[in-house]
Amino acid sequence: MAIRGTGEGTDDIVKRIALLLTAFFIVFFFSLQTAFAQVQVRMRVILASNAGQEIDPSLRDVHKELGSLFSFTSYRLIRDESLNLSLNQPIRITGRTGKAFLEATLVGLHRNMAELRLRVVREGTEILNTQVRLFAGRTVFVGGPRYGEGVVIYALYGNF
């Protein structure tokens, strides 16, 4: 049995089906691209305090931004990590003492912007839970918890 078209009605149906299939494949392709997306993030953990006036030489590239956002006289790099984040797959970084950890999770990705959730847990208590938007090629600073005589600052740089 064959179905034969008789004019414009059949052409319209074929065009609509072709349009729907094209739209389906476009949505499917972009959904897969987002599902398997990865973002590389450089995370620097900085100890900021008013004890002294030392600026860690490895922080010279962000010193002006640090000074304009925070009012400390000393900035020392504690840790420099390169994170490869996948969508909804948290990465945990344990602190030096083992009593605290930072958890970074990629929760969204849009062209040149990634949304990250940062959690800091110390001795079982969540002390920081925030979400930031990280633009490609830019640094975002997050003022973190108190540590010793100062505070911890997280500097996040997106490379995607």
Q: How buried is residue 5: exposed, middle or buried, by Cβ count under 10 Å (0-12/13-18/19+)?
A: exposed
* Residues contacting 6, CB < 8 A, separation 6+: none
**pLDDT tens digit string along 10-56?**
677 767 676 665 655 555 544 444 445 799 999 999 999 999 999 99
* Domain boundaries of the chain, sorted by first residue: 7-36, 38-159
Give which of 85, 74, 80 is closest to 148, Cα–Cα: 74
pLDDT tens digits, one per residue of 85-131 = 999 999 999 987 788 899 999 999 998 899 999 999 999 999 999 99
